[in-house]
Amino acid sequence: MLQKYWLSLLLLLFPMIVFAQAGKIRGTVVDTKSKEPLIGANIVVEGTNLGASTDADGSFLILNVPVGTYSIKTSYIGYRSSTTSNIRVNSQLTTEIHVDLSSEDVQVQAVEIVAERPLINKSATNAVRIIDADFFDNLPARGLDAAIVLQPGVVERDGNFYIRGGRPDETSFTLDGVGIKDIVNGGRSVNISAEAIEQVQVLTGGYTAEYGGASAGLVRSDLKTGSEQWKFTGLGETDNYSSLGKKALGGYSYGYSDATITAGGPIASQSLRFFGSAEFQKYGDPGTPLLQTNGSIQAVDIPRVWDGYDFVGVRMYPTVTPTHPNDYMTDTMNLVARPGNTMGGNDTRTSMSGTLSYALSELQVKASGSYSSNSGQFTTTTANLFNQDRLGKYDKADGFANLKATYWLSPKTSIEAAYSYTFSNEEQYDPAFGSGADKIKLYGDSAANAAKGYTLRSDGINFPAYQILLGNQTDAVGELPAFNQAGTVVQGYFKSKLIQSGLRADIFSQISKTVELKFGGEYSSATYRRFNPAGELTWVQNFKDSTLNPTDLSPTGKLAQRLRVYGPDNLGYDVFGNETSSDLKYEGATLDLGPRNPITGAGYLQSKIELQDIVLNLGLRYDYFSSDGIDWENPHSITFVDSLAAIQSTNFKKSPAHSYVSPRIGFSFPVTDQTVFHAQYGRFIQQPRLSESYRGTPLFYNIIKGGFFYQNPAAFGIEPEQTTSYELGFQQQVGENAALDVTAFYKDIVGQVTYVNMTSTSDVHGGYVAYVNGDFATTKGLEFKFTLRRTNRVQASINYTLSDARGTGSTPNALAGAWGSPLGGGVFTPKYIVPLSFNQAHRGSMSLDYRFAKNDGGPILEQMGLNILAQFNSGTSFTRLVFNTPDNATDPRFRAPVEEIGASTTPWYFQLDARLDKSFSLGPVVLNVYVYVINLLGTDNATDAFVRTGDPKNDGWLGTSEGRNKALTYGTDAGLYGQMYNTFIGGRNGATSNFGPPRQIRFGVKLEY
């Protein structure tokens, strides 16, 4: 009842999930000679309907200025007007300017001033890293993520961001004010082109009370809007200067290309403006590990990119082929590993975004949105060298839409309301039959495969894979890969759909020149569906089993019951992949769960006080979370309906909703115009990612009744995690053109998801594994940022972070294989605090840009620039292990540590990138040609290591007594065994994921009109 009341209150009082994305301009206007304030001077933000007049102190304040760069025109009767350009407005911050006006008695023309962007901002009460659109222009990389990872406090690993020691799902993202965080898997759910971005703010610590859903960091991005006059850009770049696998200019081509266009300007009048962008990006490197040449077994001729060996006449056995289906025979093949490094990506992406803004004096309306789709084929593994055509395919799509209106009740008070909608879909499928769950039954159908040109041994059974023989042995070498025959079905089926919609309302009032008050609320709901069946290859056998009545496709029929035995993981879909709207209950059991519908709500009160000597941000936030997850009535004794391979419905209950109140306090102390101290304290609450909480009930049955070891089980009754954050820092301007920013931080994180073994008091099932709240972490560190604005053609930025992140688990399943269970059903508390696996004690970057301006440097060097980007880190923590098998012992039950957890670190990492470009002015058109190189030095940068040796290039198996003895059993092929093992598994060639990007050379051209 309380939940319904709360939700109704939110809907009535706080109609959204969009955050204000605007700033202020504050300033003074004085007489040039006397320095007396000019009362009633007019200030206009050119190209907008925004402006103000000065008061008795000569001061003015312009509110709700959208993020962007502006020119400010100041005029006063009897004085020459003045225009100040290059005024940068940042979201949620105040930009200050000072204007001197000369009397008309002084014989001067109207004054035009190009303002220097301030190096410090005293209105910021926490660490805010601002990335403007022009930063992307000179960066020797592409994309939004490439800029985010350069900021202090940010670590990137495997495409995930770890901010100040937080897990990836603890970082939130907004785009044009819309929350675009993937609440199920973490990370960003919407893709956007860098050319469409006006500004990015990376908040690595505290933020005000109007922001929630993040306990580690917040990344705010704003889309560009239309300008006063129409502007067009076109960009194209590629690394296709050479064929795949052929070395040229010291590097290789990876099939990369990118084409982007943008357009923006007024429609009919300056009040209505449009901006749009479209990007097409492609990677065409399939990552084929080896190339088969001149052997009787033929492979698809796709070149590879590894330093390795030539294996001539390798014996393959046993195999059954379509030409001799009943006999096991020996065959031979020749393998060639070509030189280079691997990228491994076969993906095509299209992204579009746009904004439409309409502004009157009292009303501003802005609509924005994006759509992105990408399709591709999963990268090749050694096992599918001969099976290129049957590699699985995927299709993904995401997007958002936002409509926001701001109405000014008075010059100082406004109300803002908005509606937002986001979605993300994904589907994976076998390429022979295409998308659609209705095709699954064809995957293993021999007749259907024959019609597509593929031969299966029989329904649901592939032909055996080719396996390697060495020496005089007649048994295959188990640790070396088997090679699937052409046409082997290797891809299962998967689809998911996430839809989120939100409402938000905010009321803002500038109560006085120094005090602003803001309050509001938000409401967000989501619908999530996932269909992840099991045993797809054998579905055909069940559809042809007459005893199962295969024409009956009802979700409670015999066929459906048989398919559930495999343990599918489905939510919001029945066992056949059809959408459902509610849980399916039958004969006392819950067979399938309906779509999950998590809800969040919040209300906040925020006050900002900007005095001459101090700036205060004081806020209070109320958060409400309802995950729509599953909990147990009694987790230690669960009952089943075995005839249906299901769990009785009486065992389940809905996870309870949770609510919290969080204070947020920030201070900024401007000691002088060039020295600012700041301090921040806050409590931050967020729902952990929901992927662990959302599992299908057939999977529950297998986990609990089967009692098997699962490294990724289900979560039950998960509560939000809580973070307490402290931050202290200062900004110091050094001379006229440089500034130093130093920030210290400390965080306590509790309630993170962890892995436990649940005890059982039941006679019908034993203990089982599950996720619960229990992990905690403590992180602390120092962040340094040095900025040099362009001086004598040089612009520089240096970032460095010293950090120490420790906790009881780096991931939810970090304790998989370790025994521990909640006592009496309480919260499990891990006891060992260790370095987190993503912590990098030392991390930094340096960007140096040397550039000639227009009419500078002569005809050759004019408008030419060189950007050098260096990135480094001290490596991440890992634990060396001992085990006696020829693999990396991914199952924690069969390995043991030889040192304290997290005692080792990977080697130092150093990457140097560079970009060289030159612009040509051709009337109204500017042409820029460029080349940039990622990993200019071609360094083998280790990002991970083999846990047996700590070496990224050698897993150590061949150095163990077991490995040496195994090699000796192959007689004269002992050396060949070592070469093949290193190539496929345990050496540099078998460790593609242990290293950073290879050298990549890209050429491009950009046109601006």
CA angle 937, 941, 945 (to 5 degrees): 165
The confidence score (pLDDT) of residue 343 equals: 61
Reported as a single tens digit per residue, the pLDDT across 89-105 is 888 888 888 898 888 76
Mean predicted confidence (pLDDT) in 298-307:
36
User: Between β-strands 217-223 and 363-377, what pairing exists: parallel, antiparallel or unpaired?
Assistant: unpaired
Residues 991-999, mean pLDDT to the nearest whole number: 80
- 98: Cα within 13 Å, side-chain hemisphere: 9
* Phi, psi of 207, deg, nearest 5: -150, 165
Mean pLDDT calculated for residue range 258-265: 96
pLDDT at 916: 97
Is the model's pLDDT at 35 over the cut of 50?
Answer: yes
pLDDT tops 80 at residue 117: no
- In this prediction, residue 17 carries a pLDDT of 35
| pLDDT at 831 > cutoff 60 | yes
Confidence of residue 794 (pLDDT cuts 50, 70, 90): very high
Its pTM stands at 0.89
- Pair of tokens at residue 612: 């001459």
pLDDT at position 109 over 70: no
pLDDT attached to residue 107: 56
User: What does the block give as tokens for 972?
Assistant: 């004269």
Q: How confident is the model at residue 823 (pLDDT cuts 50, 70, 90)?
A: very low
Q: Tens digits of per-residue pLDDT, 602-611?
A: 999 999 999 9
Residue 687 confidence (pLDDT) above 90: yes
Q: Is the peptide bond before 997 cis (omega within 30 degrees of 0)?
A: no
User: Looking at the predicted structure, is the pLDDT value of residue 824 above 70?
Assistant: no
Residue type, position 712, single letter: N
Nearest to 88 by CA among 226, 211, 222, 199: 199
What pLDDT, on the 0 to 100 scale, is given for residue 702?
86
The predicted structure's pLDDT at residue 10: 38
pLDDT at 546: 87
Which of 138-147, 575-584, 756-765 reaches the highest mean pLDDT? 575-584
| Cα 158 to Cα 254, 639, 777, 845, distances in angstroms | 19, 40, 21, 19
Which pairing describes strands 363-377 and 345-359: parallel, antiparallel, or unpaired? antiparallel
488 domain residue, yes or no: no
pLDDT digits over 443-454, tens only?
999 999 999 999
At 538, the amino acid letter reads: T
58 part of a folded domain:
yes
Which pLDDT does position 20 carry in this prediction?
A: 45
Q: How many other C-beta atoms lie within 10 A of the C-beta of residue 646? A: 25
Choose among 869, 846, 850, 877: nearest CA to 861. 850
Say which amino acid occupies 268: A
Provide the pLDDT for residue 6: 40
* Mean predicted confidence (pLDDT) in 320-346: 67
Residues of the chain above pLDDT 90, percent? 50
pLDDT of residue 263: 97
pLDDT in tens, 718-744: 999 999 999 999 999 998 899 999 999
Block residue for tokens 């971005």: 197
Residue 893 CB neighbour total at 10 angstroms: 10
At 168 the three-state DSSP class reads helix
On whether residue 21 sits in a domain, the answer given is yes
pLDDT at 7: 38
Would you say residue 466 lies in a domain?
A: no
CA gap 252, 561 in Å, rounded: 52
Closest by Cα among 603, 599, 601 to 520: 603
**Residue 1003 — very low, low, confident or very high, per pLDDT cuts 50/70/90?**
very high
Q: What is the mean pLDDT of residues 697-712?
A: 84
List the single range of 32-46, 311-325, 416-430, 686-700 with lowest mean pLDDT: 311-325
pLDDT of residue 789 exceeding 50, the answer is: yes
CA 976 – CA 441 distance, rounded (Å): 42
Q: Is residue 509 part of a domain?
A: no
pLDDT at 805: 96
> 834 and 775 in contact (C-beta within 8 Å)?
no
CATH, residue 76: 2.60.40.1120
pLDDT at residue number 345: 72
Q: Where do the DSSP E strands lie in 674-767?
A: 675-686, 721-734, 738-758
Question: Per-residue pLDDT averaged across 923-951, rounded?
Answer: 92
The reply to whether 92 falls in a domain is yes
Cα→Cα distances 688→725, 758, 769, 969, Å: 17, 21, 19, 51
Question: Which has the higher per-residue pLDDT, 496 or 158?
Answer: 496
**What pLDDT is recorded for position 305?**
31
pLDDT recorded at residue 292: 53
Q: What is the mean pLDDT of the chain?
A: 86
| Residue, of 545 and 872, whose pLDDT is higher | 872
Q: pLDDT at position 987, please?
A: 60
**Predicted local confidence at residue 806, as pLDDT:** 95
CA of 426: how far to CAs of 369, 435, 527, 529, 691, in Å? 20, 11, 14, 11, 15
Cis before 411 (ω within 30): no
Is 80 inside a domain boundary?
yes
Burial track 915-942 (b if 16+ CB lie within 10 A, e otherwise): bebebeeeeeebebebbbbbbbeebebb
> Can you state the angle between helices 961-968 and 974-981, rounded to 10 degrees?
130
Q: Region 829-849: what's the mean pLDDT?
A: 89
- Residue 702: how many other CB atoms lie within 10 Å: 21
Between 892 and 850, residue with greater pLDDT: 850
Burial of 109 (0-12, 13-18, 19+ CB in 10 A): exposed
Query: Is pLDDT above 60 for 397?
Result: yes
Residue 357 — pLDDT band, cuts 50, 70, 90?
A: very high
- pLDDT for res 992: 67
| Number of independent structural domains in the chain | 1
Determine contact, residues 322/346, Cβ cutoff 8 Å: no
* SS3 category, 457: coil
pLDDT number for residue 94: 87
Domain ranges, residue 52 = 11-114
What was the pLDDT predicted at 477? 82
Structure tokens at 26: 């504050």
Is 61 among the domain residues? yes
